[in-house]
Structure 1
Amino acid sequence: MTDLRTRLTDRLAVLRREAELGEERLRALENDTAVLRETLLRIAGATQVLHEVLAETPAPSEQDAAAAGLHAEAG
């Protein structure tokens, strides 16, 4: 009976440690998720601002684009 009790006690200790490690990992993943959500929110905000700026900025004409290409080649 003592051998069985020892094995059960040992197994319980192992399971408790695994549960503790699992909880730690879960907290780390939840933190990583929060950081990633914040990053995505900043990217979405920056994307929105650029869309608004582009919508307010007139597109260059074909002639302006060609001139800009010549300036780029000369530089």
Structure 2
Amino acid sequence: MKEKLTQRLKSLQAEFEAGQNLLADYESKERSLRETLLRISGAIMVLEEMLADSVEEIKSQEKQTIDIHAETQPQGELAPAGEGT
């Protein structure tokens, strides 16, 4: 009887150790994945800001073009059909 209990104890201890090793491996993978997701999130934020800045730059350039066009248009002269309102 004692031998059977000792054998079962060793079996459970080995299973427990294997489970702890597996858990440690999963926790390591989880940390790594969280770090990767954090880097990806940061990259997304940078790209979104760059795109927003790009849109603002395009709008600014369009406004400058319109302003230049308005400055070069002679006063009192009507713009050709289809331009302005």
TM-score w.r.t. structure 1 length? 0.75
Structure 1 stretches of at least 4 aligned residues deviating more than 6 Å after TM superposition: none
- 1:58, 1:27 → 2: CA distance? 47
Aligned residues: 60
Question: Identity over aligned residues, as a percent?
Answer: 10
Cα deviation for residue 58 of structure 1 reads 2.2
Structure (1 or 2) with the larger CA radius of gyration: 2
Aligned counterpart in structure 2 of residue 14 of structure 1, from 8, 18, 41: 18
- Structure 1: which 5+ residue stretches go unaligned? 61-75
More helix by share: 1
TM-score, with normalisation over the residues of structure 2?
0.66
Cα root mean square deviation, aligned: 1.5
1:30 corresponding residue in structure 2? 34
Q: Where does the alignment leave 5 or more consecutive residues of structure 2 unmatched?
A: 66-85
